[in-house]
């Protein structure tokens, strides 16, 4: 009887040595998945609240898009002149930014 008891005990130990590491690995992966899900939800909430971009930067981008839409849809012959004008404005903005940073 002692031999049978020893065999059963060793079978239970061997089974535990196989099952417990798998259970730990699965548990870790579940926790990592939940953490990643919470991070993505937090980023989504931040994006909804507008925390990613300032109002001023948003307005500047919106203005640029409007100008580009107008240029793309206009069939005027002075399209090249308008593009050059925009490039000049960008150059002026870059110079002004460089002067402010130099101060």
Contacts of 74 (CB under 8 A, 6+ apart): 82
10 Å CB burial of residue 82 (0-12, 13-18, 19+) is middle
The secondary structure of 56-70 as a DSSP string is HHHHHHHHHHHHHHH
> Each residue of 55-94: pLDDT tens digit?
788 788 888 888 888 777 776 666 677 777 777 777 777 7
What own/partner pairs with CB < 8 Å and gap ≥ 24 does 3-6 have?
A: none
Q: Full-prediction pTM beyond 0.85?
A: no
Structure tokens at 90: 């960008």
């Amino acid at each position: 009887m002692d031999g049978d008891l020893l065999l059963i005990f060793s079978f239970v130990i061997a089974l535990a040595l196989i099952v417990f590491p798998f259970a730990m690995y699965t548990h870790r992966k579940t926790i990592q998945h939940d953490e990643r899900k919470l991070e993505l939800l937090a980023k989504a909430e931040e994006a909804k609240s507008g925390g990613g971009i300032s109002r001023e930067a948003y307005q500047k981008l919106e203005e640029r898009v409007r100008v580009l839409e107008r240029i793309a849809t206009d069939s005027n012959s002075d399209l090249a002149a308008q593009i050059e004008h925009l490039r000049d404005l960008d150059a002026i903005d870059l110079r002004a930014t460089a002067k402010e940073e130099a101060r």
